[in-house]
Structure 1
Amino acid sequence: MGGNKIRNMEEFAALSGISRPTVSKYFNDPGSVRASTRARIEAALEEHDYRPNIYAVNQNRRLTKNIGIVVPYLADPFFAEIARKIELRCIEAGLSPILFSAHGEKDLEVDILDSLRSMKPAGVLLAPLGRISDRGVIEKFCRDVPTILFDSNLDGIGEAFVGSDNFSFVSQSVEYLTRTGNPPILFEMVRPANPNANKRRKAYVSMMERLGFDPQIFQAEGDGWGFEEIGYKEGLRFLDQKPGRTDTVLCSNDRLAIGFLSACFERGIPVGRGETCTLRVAAHDDHPFSRFTCPSLTTVAHDYDQVSNKVIEMLFQLIESGGHFENRSEHLYPAKLVLRSSA
Structure 2
Amino acid sequence: MAQKKIRNMEELAAVSRISRPTLSKYFNDPDSVRRSTRERIELALTQFDYRPNVYAMNQNRRKTRNIGIVVPNLADPFFSEIGREVELACIGAGYTPILLSSHGNPAQERDNLESLRSLKPAGVLLAPFGRVSDRADIESFNKHIPVVLFDANVETACEAFVGTDNFQSIDLMVEYLCRSGEPPCLFEMKSPSNPNANKRRQAYLESMQRHGYTPHIFQAEGEGWNFEEIGSAEGGRLISENAFNTNTVLCSNDRLAIGMLSAAYRLGKRVGHGPACTLRIAGHDDHPFSRFTCPSLTTIAQDYAAIANRAASTLFRIIDTDERPEKREETLFNGSLVMRESA
Tell me the alpha carbon deviations over residues 135-161 of structure 1, each in whole angstroms, 9 at most, x when there is no partner.
110111112111111111112430100
Structure 1 contact 193–225 (Cα < 8 Å) conserved: no
| 1:211 maps onto 2:211 in alignment | yes
Q: 1:312 maps to what in 2?
A: 312
Q: 2:5 maps to what in 1?
A: none
CA distance in 1, matches of 2:276, 2:137: 54
Structure 2 contact 123–147 (Cα < 8 Å) conserved: yes
Q: 1:284 maps to what in 2?
A: 284
- Aligned-partner SS, 1:132: coil
TM-aligned CA deviation for residue 92 of structure 1: 1.5
CA distance in 1, matches of 2:202, 2:60: 41
- Counterparts in 2 of 1:211 and 1:320: CA distance versus 1, 3 Å: same
Q: 1:190 maps to what in 2?
A: 190
Structure 2 contact 160–328 (Cα < 8 Å) conserved: yes
Q: What stretches of structure 1 of length at least 5 have no aligned partner?
A: 1-27, 33-57
Structure 1 contact 60–122 (Cα < 8 Å) conserved: no
2:303 partner amino acid: D
Tell me the alpha carbon deviations over residues 197-234 of structure 1, each in whole angstroms, 9 at most, x when there is no partner.
00000000000011100100110111001101100011
Structure 1 contact 149–158 (Cα < 8 Å) conserved: yes
Q: 2:66 maps to what in 1?
A: 66
CA distance in 1, matches of 2:342, 2:285: 15
CA distance in 1, matches of 2:152, 2:29: 34
CA distance in 1, matches of 2:267, 2:244: 18
1:324 partner amino acid: R
Q: 2:273 maps to what in 1?
A: 273
CA distance in 1, matches of 2:201, 2:60: 41
CA distance in 2, matches of 1:305, 1:254: 19
CA distance in 2, matches of 1:129, 1:318: 24
Q: 1:131 maps to what in 2?
A: 131
- Counterparts in 2 of 1:228 and 1:60: CA distance versus 1, 3 Å: farther
1:327 partner amino acid: K
Q: 2:12 maps to what in 1?
A: none
Structure 2 contact 59–119 (Cα < 8 Å) conserved: no
Q: How does 1:44-59 map to 2 (within 5 A)?
A: none
Q: What stretches of structure 2 of length at least 5 have no aligned partner?
A: 1-27, 33-57
TM-aligned CA deviation for residue 60 of structure 1: 11
1:146 partner amino acid: P
TM-aligned CA deviation for residue 324 of structure 1: 1.6
**TM-score, with structure 1 as normaliser:** 0.82
CA distance in 2, matches of 1:322, 1:295: 50
CA distance in 2, matches of 1:162, 1:60: 31
Q: 2:321 maps to what in 1?
A: 321
2:198 partner amino acid: N
Q: How does 1:195-274 map to 2 (within 5 A)?
A: 195-274=195-274
Q: 2:143 maps to what in 1?
A: 143
Q: 2:111 maps to what in 1?
A: 111
Tell me the alpha carbon deviations over residues 7-60 of structure 1, each in whole angstroms, 9 at most, x when there is no partner.
xxxxxxxxxxxxxxxxxxxxx74659xxxxxxxxxxxxxxxxxxxxxxxxx999
1:192 partner amino acid: P
- Aligned-partner SS, 2:307: helix
CA distance in 2, matches of 1:313, 1:270: 45
Kindly name which structure, 1 or 2, has the bigger radius of gyration based on alpha carbons.
2
- Percent of pairs identical after alignment? 60
What root-mean-square deviation, in Å, do the aligned CA atoms of Structure 1 and Structure 2 show?
Answer: 1.7
CA distance in 2, matches of 1:305, 1:59: 29
Tell me the alpha carbon deviations over residues 289-330 of structure 1, each in whole angstroms, 9 at most, x when there is no partner.
000000000000001111111011101111123252121110
CA distance in 2, matches of 1:215, 1:278: 20
